[in-house]
Amino acid sequence: MNVEFVNPFVVSTINVMKTMAKTDAKPGNPFLKSDKSAKGDVTGIIGLRGVQAKGSLAITFTEPAILRIYSQMLGENAEEISDDLVDCVGEITNMICGGAKAILSEKGYKFEMAIPSMISGKNHTVSHKTNGKIVCVPFDTSDGSFFLEVCFEE
C-alpha cells in the first residue's frame, strides 16, 4: 500500500476532532495490523473506490472516548451509546473520509466514497479482506482511545 494514502486520514482525523468536537486527538505510532487487533464499542466504516485503488476506512471508538466526543460535538451529555450517538459516528466517518479525500485529490488520487455503516456492540473487532496492508493508527484523547484503520489495494 502506498504510504501516501495513510497520512491524509491522520491529518483529517485530527482536524475533524479539533474543529467539530473541540478534542485534541493525539496519534500514536501506526502499526501494521496483522496479529494485533483493536477492540472497540462503536465503529464507523466506509468504502472507497478510485481508478488507481480501492480501500476501506474504519474508525473504532471505545465507549468513554466516543461519549466525550459526542458530548463535545453536540453540547449535551451522553451517558450511553444511543442511536443518535451511532448516527454521529457515521457523520464523523463521513467527515474524516471527506477531508482525506480532498487531500488525496490534491495529490492526484481520486476516490469516491460509498455510504458509511456503523457497528455498535461491546468489544467488537474489525478486520478487512484485502491482499494489501492494513495500517492502524491509535489515537488518545483525554477520555480514552480510538483507532483508525486504513487499507488500500492497488
Minimum CB separation of residue 142 from its own copies in Å reads: 26
Rule CB under 8 A: is residue 20 a binding residue for its own copies?
Answer: no
Which one, 29 or 129, has the nearer CB to its own copies? 129
Residue type at position 40:
G
CA 10 to CA 28: how far, in whole Å?
A: 10
Binding mask of the shown chain, residues 25 to 44, with x at each position contacting its own copies by CB under 8 A: --------------x---xx
CA dist 58 to 78, 79, 100, Å? 22, 23, 13
Identify residues 129-148 at the interface with its own copies (CB under 8 A).
Answer: 129-130, 132
Q: Which residue has the cell 468536537?
A: 21
Report if residue 105 touches its own copies, rule: CB under 8 A: no
Q: Which stretch binds its own copies (CB under 8 A): 3-11, 23-31, 111-119, 136-144?
A: 111-119
Phi, psi of 151 (to 5 degrees): -140, 140
The H-or-E segment that residue 105 falls in is: helix 83-106
